[in-house]
Amino acid sequence: MRLDRKALSPPLRPANLLSARRLAFAWSVMASIALLAWVLVVDQARDMGVEPGTMGMGVVPLFLLLWLVMMIGMMFPSVAPVALTWVRAIGRRSPTGVVRAARTAEFLAGYLLAWTAFGLIAYGLLAGTGALVDEHPGAGRWIGAGAFLVAGLYQFGPWKDLCLRHCRSPMGQLVRYAGFRPRARDLRVGAHHGAYCVGCCWGLMVVLVPLGVMNVLAMAAVAVVIFVEKLWRLGPVFSQVVGAVFLVLAVLSLFQPWLLPGLIPPQSPMTEMLRRLPL
């Protein structure tokens, strides 16, 4: 797909929309929330192995809770410019700091609502692949190759381009949002932008199936890719480079199982002992 100049236009810069003091405070709040989420995720990952399935959480609400913490850590740095821009718009109409904080929280709740909906899909996908790999261990390499293939092809697709354009330069949509009816406006704006964000990033999340959902290094790498795609001037070009890497991994994973730690069934102590016995 050919990239035009509009696709390579710089993303929205909140520095021109907020005072330096308010910008620093808002960034520090978003960064602190994301950092806290990462601390919680890393602490939880210590007690979980990188293995197929839903990380041992058979209860959907418990899975979604951890999923949301993961999304806060991975997505908040890249969504910060849009959030700060909307905060500026909120500040013009909200007389007190309490009202501004409540409306900002409503915006972020709407954003996370979109990722919660995708979390339900992720739960079903992980549960299905986990059950299949447990029953047929050899299927893991095909599932992993398929995941990398889908993610790689999506990086070159029109829907990725459309959603990435919105996430990089959402000003036109933010102006449109001002015309929404006041009732639950901030929640709806957050959910609408979150839906675009899911459309932009769901392929990147799919690669966590073969790499391991609780693989902290893989999560960090995906978070960096998302951040660079959305905020770097050459983000669209970088996005296609990442897609090419995924396509290469799709081929290599058929022959190199170590590339698929999230699809290798855990070995029981007895199985491991028997495997090491001399023949």
Position of tokens 């081929």? 251
pLDDT at 5 over 60: no
Q: Are 68 and 116 in contact (CB under 8 A)?
A: yes
Q: Average pLDDT, stretch 37-52?
A: 83
Position of tokens 């957050």? 190
List of residues 6+ apart from 127 with CB closer than 8 A = 53, 54
Q: How is residue 71 annotated by DSSP? A: H
**Burial label, 225 (beta-carbon count in 10 A; 0-12, 13-18, 19+):** buried
Q: Report residue 162 as tokens.
A: 């459309």
What confidence tens digit (pLDDT) does each residue in 165-219 have? Answer: 888 876 666 666 666 666 777 888 889 889 999 999 999 999 999 998 888 999 9
pLDDT at position 272 is: 40
pLDDT at 274 over 70: no
The average confidence (pLDDT) of the chain is: 81
Rounded CA gap, 202 and 97, in Å?
Answer: 34
CA distances from residue 135 to 55, 107, 129, 132 in whole angstroms, order as listed = 17, 43, 10, 5
Percentage of the chain exceeding pLDDT 70: 76
167/272: higher pLDDT: 167
Of the listed ranges 16-25, 65-74, 99-108, 256-265, the least confidently predicted one is: 16-25
pLDDT at 71 over 90: yes
Q: Average pLDDT, stretch 65-81?
A: 89
Rounded CA gap, 254 and 85, in Å?
Answer: 45
Q: What distance, in Å, lies between the first and last C-alpha atoms of the chain? A: 55
pLDDT at 262 over 60: yes
pLDDT at position 273 is: 42
Q: How is residue 59 annotated by DSSP? A: S
pLDDT at position 111 is: 92
Q: What's the pLDDT band for 91 if we cut at 50, 70, 90? A: low
Q: Average pLDDT, stretch 111-122?
A: 94
What confidence tens digit (pLDDT) does each residue in 15-25 have? Answer: 444 556 666 67
Q: How big is the CA angle at 176 (ends 223 and 103), to the nearest 5 degrees?
A: 65
pLDDT at position 49 is: 67
Rounded CA gap, 143 and 208, in Å?
Answer: 12
Ramachandran region of residue 106, left (φ > 0), alpha (ψ -120 to 50) or beta?
alpha
Rounded CA gap, 78 and 184, in Å?
Answer: 24
List of residues 6+ apart from 188 with CB closer than 8 A = 110, 177, 180
218/265: higher pLDDT: 218
List of residues 6+ apart from 196 with CB closer than 8 A = 163, 166, 167, 170, 173
238/53: higher pLDDT: 238
**Segment of 77-91, 154-168, 175-189 carrying the highest mean pLDDT:** 154-168
Q: Is the pTM of this model over 0.85?
A: no
Q: Are 194 and 114 in contact (CB under 8 A)?
A: yes
pLDDT at position 22 is: 62
Rounded CA gap, 36 and 87, in Å?
Answer: 21
pLDDT at 13 over 60: no
Of the listed ranges 72-76, 121-125, 168-172, 220-224, the least confidently predicted one is: 168-172
Helices (H), the chain: 20-45, 60-93, 97-135, 139-154, 158-168, 171-177, 185-206, 208-211, 216-231, 235-252, 269-276
